[in-house]
A = this chain, B = another copy of it.
Amino acid sequence: MYHSGMKEFSQPSDRLPDRTSVSMFAFIQAGRAVEDRLEAALGPVGLSIPKFSVLSLLVKAGEPVTLSELAARMACVRSNVTQLVDRLEADGFVRRISDSTDRRSVLAELTPLGVERHVAGAAEVKRVQEEFSDSVGEFDGVLVNRLLATLV
């Protein structure tokens, strides 16, 4: 949970125009609130969102994956994955193995403990997703999805 503040941008009502305006700060805040709930749920399992993401990708792949590939799939920089895998290796959730076909590459492989933690993490994720769905349930899902698609 590494978030900048911004609580002050509550924007009570500078004056409302015809169409009721939506503050981007409120939107950002809401996203972080959801994120925080997820982080809080994963914490007790010994995971964070980034760590769970890596385990999740490895489970989905069903085989060891190069760090470059992980970076690509996580839409982040390579050096980020290097350090993330460092921590996952220290946790004992992942192992680094060498690629026999290309000696430049390094593969990340799940350990049994890593698999076990992914299961536990996935259960938490499911729980939080259901809570989230309950909260959003009263709104039109199709509409909300269209809104989100507009912003990304």
The number of times this chain is found in the oligomer is 2
- Residues on B with C-beta less than 8 A from A21 are 133, 141
Q: Give bound CA distance, A19 to B142, whole Å.
A: 9
Q: Is A4 an interface residue (CB 8 A)?
A: yes
Please tell me if the beta carbons of A8 and B74 are within 8 angstroms of each other in the complex.
yes
Please tell me if the beta carbons of A129 and B23 are within 8 angstroms of each other in the complex.
yes
Interface residues on chain A, number (Cβ under 8 Å): 57
Shortest CB–CB separation between residue A84 and chain B, in angstroms?
A: 9
Please tell me if the beta carbons of B29 and A152 are within 8 angstroms of each other in the complex.
yes
A128's closest neighbor in chain B, by CB?
B24
- Residues on B with C-beta less than 8 A from A28 are 31, 34-35, 38
Please tell me if the beta carbons of B49 and A148 are within 8 angstroms of each other in the complex.
no
